[in-house]
Structure 1
Amino acid sequence: MTSLFDLSGKRALVTGASKGIGLASARLLSQLGAQVTVSARGEADLVRAASEIGARAIVADVSHAAEIERLVQEAGEIDILVSNAGGPPTGLPSLVDDEGWQRGFELTFMSTVRLSRALVGGMRARGWGRVITITSLTVGRPSLGLPVSNALRAGVTNFARSLALEVARDGVTVNTVAPGYTATERLQEVFKSPEDAERVMSRIPAARFGSADEVASAVAYLSTAGAAYITGQEILVDGGWSI
């Protein structure tokens, strides 16, 4: 009997996969048997990551529609989409300019919309698919210095829920995974000092930052047949921060 967690024969595309949560997700999907294609902007890091996990690499900047179109064409049929991208611009809400908002919109929101729109039709036709988008705990608990992320990832969450309503009857699930404070390079950008990091950690019930592998475990589970009845959900991986 085939395991509910065996992804053999499934084809996955993971964006923002040269490091951090994207790389950890791609690695775990590969370990579960999926044929993985990874994508990111930086060629050197991406090629290194692909070699590490035995994945196919396609360099692309998902903040541009034409790059997404090329990526999808080169990737071919995909059963599992993990839509992940670097963090949008930071700053106080009153100080982020139009350019910052527009860059964040293309990178954070439209990348998920375009990738999903391009791939979900094939998933529906085959009667099986998974769309998983990496968001953030700030969707529900906004952070002062991350207004673009706060706003746009809330939009991504509701886009995912809307899409889930459309495709659920076709065997396709759509979910978001919302990491809490996770020990990646992005976290180093958010904290201005070691004292800031210590202050935040003291408020996490688990008393530590999460790891990329722990977030990837949620991504991997949602990708499997075992999670076929979970859709339209936001899965928090935050050490209890949101309790």
Structure 2
Amino acid sequence: MDLMLSGKSVFVAAASKGLGKAVALQYAREGARLTIASRSLERLAQARDEIKAETGVEAALLQMDASAGEDIRNAIRTAAAASDGLDVLITNAGGPKGGFFSDMADEDWLGGFELNLLSTIRMIREALPFMKTAGEGRIVNLTSTSIKQPIDGLILSNVFRSGVNALTKSLATELAKDGILVNTVAPGRIGTDRIAELDGKRALEQGRAVEDIQAEAAKQIPLGRMGTPEEFARHVVFYGSFANTYVTGQSLLVDGGMVKSI
């Protein structure tokens, strides 16, 4: 299938590693003009080199802290200026602090809000003028399966990722007249550093081996295993492509059937 992404300008946030890097690599495979952003220029450079080695596409690099409004403004505008517009925006940010309600002070709530919800709002706000000028655009917000089924010990993620999903649904209606499609793609247990970190924390808290935690989690997934970043990325890139012409306002869970909600 031709995803009609050749030459399109694509901005991927938090793309120095994990899911963001996998998504950026998949866009490069489709021939997009790619800008990748993250806090760490060193890791971004490594990601750029990996992407170029595999695809021949040299991504532009922009340092951006997702919690900093000025960083987001400068990054989106720079990317659009360099590529004569912006066709696709992938919003993404690292996970907020883990813990339960009793663990969280005001600064934790404010930090989670800035990192995961306000960053998405800011990125979209900066991208929209370029998409409206073009008369079309695609926005994909990366969240978590917590938008459908809360995850114990991740209350900040549960709350703010769900806010991103509500934003997606609202914007899909508002922006349809402008030819802009907005969707959410939510990873379940995908093999990333974030999952390894959370598994390690649970193992330490429970005095168990990490392997036992992982085996137990795999039993809750009908497909019996974690997903790979590449498997996740393929779904993101379809939603954020111009082969997608009629899907907007939706939330897709890439979780091997883990979440049982209807």
Structure 2 length-normalised TM: 0.89
* Equivalent-residue separation in structure 1 for 2:74 and 2:129 (angstroms): 17
- Which of 55, 71, 74 lines up with 2:78 in the alignment? 74
* Equivalent-residue separation in structure 2 for 1:70 and 1:215 (angstroms): 28
> What does 1:210-225 align with in structure 2 at a 5 Å threshold?
210-225=227-242
Post-superposition CA distance 1:116-171 (Å, at most 9, x none): 01111221221110100100001111011100000000000001111111111221
Post-superposition CA distance 1:90-141 (Å, at most 9, x none): 0112211111111111110011000001111221221110100100001111
* Equivalent-residue separation in structure 2 for 1:50 and 1:104 (angstroms): 28
- Which of 37, 40, 44 lines up with 2:35 in the alignment? 37
Post-superposition CA distance 1:30-57 (Å, at most 9, x none): 1101100000001111111112222111
Query: Given residue 5 of structure 1, which amino acid in structure 2 is its aligned partner?
Result: L
Match of 2:50 in 1: 52
Match of 1:174 in 2: 182
* Equivalent-residue separation in structure 1 for 2:176 and 2:128 (angstroms): 11
> What does 1:113-152 align with in structure 2 at a 5 Å threshold?
113-152=121-160
Query: Given residue 227 of structure 2, which amino acid in structure 1 is its aligned partner?
Result: G
- How far the C-alpha of 1:173 sits from its partner, in A, is 0.3
* Equivalent-residue separation in structure 2 for 1:185 and 1:96 (angstroms): 23
Q: Would the aligned equivalents of 1:35 and 1:55 in 2 still touch at CA under 8 Å?
A: yes
Q: State the percentage of identical aligned residues.
A: 38
* Equivalent-residue separation in structure 2 for 1:58 and 1:28 (angstroms): 19
> What does 1:101-120 align with in structure 2 at a 5 Å threshold?
101-120=109-128
Match of 1:159 in 2: 167
The reply to whether residue 5 of structure 1 matches residue 3 of structure 2 is yes
Query: Given residue 175 of structure 1, which amino acid in structure 2 is its aligned partner?
Result: N
Show structure 1 runs of 5+ residues with no match: none
- Which of 181, 190, 194 lines up with 2:198 in the alignment? 190
Q: Would the aligned equivalents of 1:80 and 1:131 in 2 still touch at CA under 8 Å?
A: yes
Match of 2:17 in 1: 19
The reply to whether residue 206 of structure 1 matches residue 214 of structure 2 is no
Match of 2:258 in 1: 241
Show structure 2 runs of 5+ residues with no match: 52-57, 204-209
The reply to whether residue 96 of structure 1 matches residue 104 of structure 2 is yes
Q: How many equivalent residue pairs? A: 241
* Equivalent-residue separation in structure 2 for 1:182 and 1:218 (angstroms): 13
Q: Would the aligned equivalents of 2:88 and 2:241 in 1 still touch at CA under 8 Å?
A: no
Query: Given residue 258 of structure 2, which amino acid in structure 1 is its aligned partner?
Result: W
- How far the C-alpha of 1:89 sits from its partner, in A, is 0.6
* Equivalent-residue separation in structure 2 for 1:69 and 1:123 (angstroms): 15
* Equivalent-residue separation in structure 2 for 1:169 and 1:73 (angstroms): 23
Q: Would the aligned equivalents of 1:4 and 1:224 in 2 still touch at CA under 8 Å?
A: no
* Equivalent-residue separation in structure 1 for 2:106 and 2:196 (angstroms): 25
* Equivalent-residue separation in structure 2 for 1:234 and 1:102 (angstroms): 25
Q: Would the aligned equivalents of 1:20 and 1:185 in 2 still touch at CA under 8 Å?
A: yes
RMSD: 1.1
Q: Would the aligned equivalents of 2:4 and 2:243 in 1 still touch at CA under 8 Å?
A: no
| DSSP-derived class of the 1:58 partner | strand
Q: Would the aligned equivalents of 2:168 and 2:183 in 1 still touch at CA under 8 Å?
A: yes
- How far the C-alpha of 1:78 sits from its partner, in A, is 1.2
